[in-house]
Chain A
Amino acid sequence: MNWSPHVEALLGAVGPLGNREFAPHAARWDDAGLDAGLAARCSEWGLFGLSAPEASGGAGVGMLGTVAVVEDIAAHSGSLAIRVAIHEAAAVGLALGLGDDELLARALGGDGFVGWCGASRGLSARAESHVRLQGAARMVPADGDVVAVGQGPEGAVVGFVRAADVGARRARSASGLCAAGWADLELDAEATHAGDDALARRLSARVSVGVAATACGLARAAITRAVEYARVREQFGQAIANFQAIQWKLANSATERDAAWMLTVKAAARLDAVADDAADAAARAQLAAVRSAVAACSEALQVHGGYGYTREFPIERLLRDARACSAIDRGDDDLRAAVVPGIVARFA
């Protein structure tokens, strides 16, 4: 894979964080939630504002660089990756879309991870002089400030709501991406910043590629583990890697994962190019990436046999995290429904 020198340099800087800062804590975060202050450290490490221009304090690598970094984090901790991805997609995306420096500064600052209530069908929006978001959102990654999409009379509206204004919030325990801060929200608040339908769709597409990149990282981690395990585990007097039943799982998982990764990279590039087909490309990427991650993690568990089922190995967590990716923002069928109109438009 050939990245631009700029993205290469960023990956070179972020790469070492994986083993040093993320991997040792991933299991604990999964049990107990992300450490307080982790958002601040992410900000220090330069993980916020990846897609923002360098002139405004960002990394200037666009969504292309963002997916590269998120994929890398996800190989160590899915929960952290999804928070970084959503923060970048929603909070930084909203600030960039509105050209709002104050909001961008807040997003880059590391006060906390900004959450996302996206395709929720429960939120409505009213715009008089200010945008007011009202209604309920279920099981969304949202434990601080949130970016929420509400349905208004003239299409969707996207707004930024400060944590203090969010109102009733009930934390939910999830089975995957456990540290992502899942909650049910009852919103009835003025948005401090708001954007229109087009921006709402763009942010949703950014979230999709973020979820896709997370899924691709989880899949890669599972495949790497399965390869390592297959080499050393012996049965019937030989490494199980010698059996075609094992080799096939590895080859299929790696091929499907790479296919999904290419779709993810392409969708990120289309977003950076502000192309008309970016939203469809993002939906396809999320669809393929989540499917391939669930399959790869499930096959990796099978390669590990009974050990894969225990918490001694990270495979069961990877599988739970991958499965949870399909619950973020849009499920498989929402994604399929999103791309059908594009097909009709081209072929009818």
Chain B
Amino acid sequence: MDLTLSEEHEALVRMVREFAVREVKPAAAEIDRHSRFPSELVARMGELGLMGIEVPVEYGGSGLDPIAYVLAMEEVSAACASTGVIMSVNNSLVCDPLVKFATEAQKTRWLEPLASGRKLGCFMLSEPEAGSDAAAQRTVAVPDGDGWIIDGTKNWITNGPQADTGILFTMTDRAAGHRGITAFVVDLNAPGVTRGHKDDKLGIRGSHSSQVVFEGYRAGPEQLLGKVGEGFRVAMSTLDCGRIGIAAQALGIARAAFETAAAYACVRRTFGKRVIDHQAMGFMLADMETELEAARLLTLRAAAAKMAGRRHSRESSMAKLYASETANRLAKAAIQIHGGNGYVTEFPVERFYRDAKITEIYEGTSEIQRLVIAADLLKA
């Protein structure tokens, strides 16, 4: 088993870190404070090839592998988790299913603008009454001529207010349950689409999510993604990969929390010693680094499994579960290590704490990850 990074990976990390440290990190507090969508950073990520990392070069992407994606996500998210999730949705929830399920014509039309960063994508699975139970879709697509008429409301859609293109899940045959779900790729600037107000949230405040409402939206046959009734498979296989991206986002937050806390503990003095020299604090940092490193390795393992073309639901769920819970533990510990300074917005750790929480919720809550892992362990 080879856990060392290739030179290509090392070079990518250097490039993304330079961008993250110079351009993203200095803006992160302000983006958070004003809930500002960082359009300028999204444009830069497009230029740097970070919006379609795994998309083949001929479709406007960077043609890199899943490990490269994890490394880049960690760097960007360590600087700003909001920017990280904007990137992750475009990469793994939009480009990825297009690479996997789109026809040649669809790839040319939809994938190239997304992968090159000229357009932004979103993923529309959740509904007000269908979150963890994603099969309980109420959005309907009814055949109309050679196409479909779509009606329904999608909830909490990341990039919803800004996106040009979306992957949309609908119910085409209620009686068939999850085998009645069908996916489409849709133009969100077309008639029949309205977007709700952006959600006001605890964290990742620079990433905007909203409802997206479809009323009499007409989709042509060329917008069908995969086969009729195959939508649930499209969604689950997309999430298997997406969870690697969220694990990497969590990893970035966890790293930022650890590094900020370690640096603080080395300068802040109490009772005549550096904070880190108090055993309780030093040992807390030792545990933090151990968990951080474990989260990174589980995430890289999931990426390696994807790269090998194996089914990787268990690996992805373990990575997402462990990394997200690590991010939460570490952000909380980082506040503790900062004392009162951890609680005020002058220091970044309270933001890490608020941002970390979402990683235990979206793309399958921690409970859903445990269900996936347990089902995999228990399958005969």
Contacts and interface: CB of A to CB of B under 8 A. Distances in A.
A7 to B, nearest CB: 8
Given A2-B1, A230-B378, A262-B301, A336 B263 contact: no
B285 interface: yes
Contact of B321 (A255, A265, A273, A343): A255
A-B pairs with lowest CB-CB distance, top 10: A247-B374, A262-B297, A259-B294, A336-B286, A251-B373, A348-B266, A251-B370, A347-B262, A340-B282, A336-B283
Interface in B360-380: 369-371, 373-375, 377-378, 380
A336 B373 contact: no
Q: How large is the interface on A (under 10, 10 to 19, 20 to 34, 35 or more residues)?
A: 35 or more
A230 B380 CA distance: 12
Contacts of A254: 318, 373, 377
A340 B276 contact: yes
Given A248-B374, A343-B262, A336 B287 contact: yes
Contact of A250 (B294, B298, B321, B378): B378
Interface of B: 1-4, 259, 262-263, 265-267, 274, 276, 279, 282-283, 285-287, 289-291, 293-295, 297-298, 301, 304, 308, 318, 321-322, 369-371, 373-375, 377-378, 380
B308 to A, nearest CB: 7
A23 B298 CA distance: 30
A127 to B, nearest CB: 32
Nearest to B375: A247
B374 A250 contact: yes
B378 A247 contact: yes
A40 interface: no
Given A252-B370, A255-B322, A287-B290, A347 B378 contact: no
Contacts of B318: 254-255, 258-259
25 contacts: A2-B2, A64-B1, A231-B380, A244-B371, A247-B374, A247-B378, A248-B370, A251-B371, A255-B298, A258-B298, A262-B301, A263-B297, A266-B297, A273-B4, A281-B293, A284-B290, A284-B293, A335-B286, A336-B287, A337-B279, A337-B286, A340-B276, A343-B276, A344-B266, A347-B259
B297 A259 contact: yes
Interface of A: 1-4, 64, 223, 227, 230-231, 241, 244, 247-248, 250-252, 254-256, 258-260, 262-263, 265-266, 269, 273, 281, 284, 287-288, 333, 335-337, 339-340, 343-344, 346-348
B308 A2 contact: yes
A262 B294 contact: yes
A82 to B, nearest CB: 22
A258 B377 CA distance: 13
A1 B4 CA distance: 15
Contacts of A248: 370, 374
Given A251-B321, A348-B274, 9 more contacts: A244-B370, A251-B377, A254-B377, A258-B298, A259-B295, A263-B294, A266-B297, A284-B293, A340-B282
Contacts of A333: 283
Contacts of A288: 290-291, 294
A347 B267 CA distance: 9
Contacts of A336: 282-283, 286-287
Majority SS of interface residues in chain A?
A: helix
B26 to A, nearest CB: 20
Contacts of B266: 344, 347-348
A40 B334 CA distance: 52
Contacts of B298: 255, 258-259, 262
B377 A340 contact: no
Nearest to A348: B266
Contacts of B4: 269, 273
- Which of A251, A269, A337, A343 has most chain B Cβ within 10 Å? A251
A329 to B, nearest CB: 17
B285 A343 contact: yes
A143 B339 CA distance: 50
Contacts of A256: 322
B109 to A, nearest CB: 37
A9 to B, nearest CB: 15
Given A2-B308, A348-B266, A340 B290 contact: no
Contacts of B259: 347
Contact of B373 (A4, A231, A255, A339): A255
- Which of B279, B287, B375 has most chain A Cβ within 10 Å? B287
A265 B297 CA distance: 10
Contacts of A4: 1
- Which of B304, B321, B374 has most chain A Cβ within 10 Å? B374
Contacts of A287: 286-287, 290
A269 B300 CA distance: 15
Contacts of B380: 231
Given A1-B1, A2-B1, A340-B276, A227 B377 contact: yes
